Structure 1
Amino acid sequence: MEEMDIDDNSYKKLLTPGGCHRSKQLLKHAVVCLGFLCVVLLAGNIGQFFFYETHCTAVIGVLQTNNNITTQNYEIDSTEKNGVQSMYKYLSVNKNHLEVRMRNLTNEKEELQKDELEVRFRDVTSQRDQLQTQYGTLKNESDQLKTSYDEMKQSFREIVRNHKNFTADANQLQTKYTDLQREKEELRANFTAFVQNTDRLQRTYSSSVRHEKHQLQQSLDIMNKSKSQTENNYKQLLTNYSSLVTDTEKLQKNLNKMTDKVRGMLCPKKWTKFKTSCYFVSTERRNWTESRHACVDEGADLMIIDSHEEQVFVNRLLHKDQNAWIGLTDSVEDGVWMWLDGNTVTTTFWQAEQPNNYGGNQDCGELVQTQSGGEWNDDGCFSKQISICEK
């Protein structure tokens, strides 16, 4: 490959204007030398022919001189011949390289033509596929049009058949219309007779209606008198009802007083009385639900704190730093604290920053014993501790 690159470069040098000019100069020198040689030989022969006899010595000298010149020219011709042979060999090598390049270019041309043919073949194949697709689409459209034509043809036949039916129905309707017209005339005659009978009945009815109206008016007057008496009786009943309500309220107050007296007299053993309620502090530790069940079993429930006095009272029932369950929870709606009787908490005694629902599962309230009168805290309903019952 390196030799081919060198020869290619040499060939390129020859093909350049400078290389061609040098080749022409070499050829020109060779032609001049050959011509000069011919002229010298010709001059020698002519000199030999004219001066052979009179100038033998001179001719011999001239011949020797010519012989020397001829020898020199021959040496010059040999050198130029060697150069021409070298040039010929060089051109032969370049020719071989050019032939090799020609074959390579021919192969590349064939490959390019082959690639171009393959591209054209792919294009033709793609066009053929597109044409086939278009043909399939057109065929589908043709089938659809044919189907639509058949449907329209069938619809047209149905329209023609319906038209015939409508024509027959129209003839029947025309016949019925004629019959109705005849019946209309008969009804009009009957209506005229009916109007006449109605007028006669109206005159008869008017006299009887006036009599009945008079009787109804008398009955209405009697009913109005009865209404007035009924209203008076209703007012009297309302008065009696108000009196009964007042008496009932008085009785309820007396009953409440008696109930308070009974409660004050009947607090069980180990229960502590405060106003009208009894309180019991359990000694067994249970969770909030179990503590409530235990209170219910005693006929009570976890206590409800309604005032500051009651808060201070139950705080005294606990030992120092004790916690006890009370009837306070937000298990129905998170964040809305309610007593077990369903009332919303209004008076509160929460500790600072409480309730905080720590861990997301503190839904029951407890009373924490303090020196200041007790405070509330929210805790997990699963914790086990004592409780306070109230009944």
Structure 2
Amino acid sequence: MGKKSILRTDTDFISPSQLKVDFQRRKQPSRCVTVCLGLLCAVLLAGNIGQFIYYEIISRLASADPTQTSLQFQGDRLQDGYDASTAERKQLEAKLSNLTEERGQLQQSYTALTTERNEFKASFNNLTNENDQIEASYYTLKRENDQLQTSYNNMQKSHNNLTATKDQLQTNNSNLQREKDELQTLCITLRENRDQLQSNYSSLKINKEQLQASYNTLKQESNQLQTSYNNMQKRLEELQTNHNNLTAAKDQLQTNNRNLQREKDELRTLSITLRENRDQLQSNCSSLKINKDQLQISFNTTSTTDRPCQTSWSKFEMSCYFVSTEKKNWEHSRRHCIRKGADLVVIDSKAEQAFVNGLLTSDQEAWIGMTDSATEGTWMWVDGTPVTTTYWDAGQPDNVGWVQDCGDTKQKSSGVGVWNDERCSTKKNLICEQ
């Protein structure tokens, strides 16, 4: 029998039961060879026994009486039987030789099959290990797929939330635009009222000056009359009638003087009231201007949410940041940011503080949008929200001289940077947020 070749690829999968059946099939020829060899040995043993019996009988016949012809005949028949047995033994020996050769060939086939079985067994072990690795990879990929699916669902929810936020911001933008128009109309009306009041005030001021000139003239006349009265007192007997007339005139002038004094007091009160109204109007106008700037900032922030930042600006999350090269005080820094359509930075998280710290050079200080100028010790951001999460340096805020009402941030190579309170008039770099 020749060696049977079996070709399998690395991707074939042989189960243990299939390998066992295949191995049992390969063992059947070996069993047949064993049975045949056993039968051949039995035949050879029978031939040896027959040869032994034959020689024993022939020997006895040679030593027996010649007269026993029947026994001789039987010996001849036994001789014939022996010859036949000898010929049959030779045939059996020839068959034994053939079976021996077949046994050698079967032994070689068995050895080759044993080697092939060992190779198959090693391949089976390798394939089993690969199958375990593939199963582990499959479960890993399945777990990663579940995580990706969860991440996708979370991103989908975030997208829906952002869409709703965008719609809300657009609605708020429309409302703010309408309120801005109304405020602009109100500001124009108030400006016209202020101009009218200013005109009335100018007219009243002119009237007051005229009344003051009249009063001065009357006062001079009163002094002249007083001089005349003194002269006339010397000539009392001669000018009694004139004296009575002048006395009456004096009383009238005093009455007029009191009236003028009362009118002067009223004009002073009116002037004070007009000045207070003017200051109130200026304060209202300033508040409206700040509200307008804040609305403009909100509008710019809303409209630039999905746009890239301008040149020299850095982007973080939804905002753009700008660090100036020139130094200004806190108030001028805020105006500078507002002119750029932004405001001083409002820091809402530790990640944003770390990002702002990365915008500055080593130990550089810059203004940020917080102050406690309204209420000492109560720090507020420029957008009106209170400062909750803080990054004050050790011992800060210390409010040296009770005049440190503005906040700045200082760059640190380790950590996220620190805050410090400082005089608002101090000139520093500034950080705008849009």
Shorter-chain-normalised TM-score: which range? 0.3 to 0.5
Q: Which has the larger radius of gyration?
A: 1
**TM-score, normalised by the number of residues in structure 1:** 0.35
**TM-score, normalised by the number of residues in structure 2:** 0.31
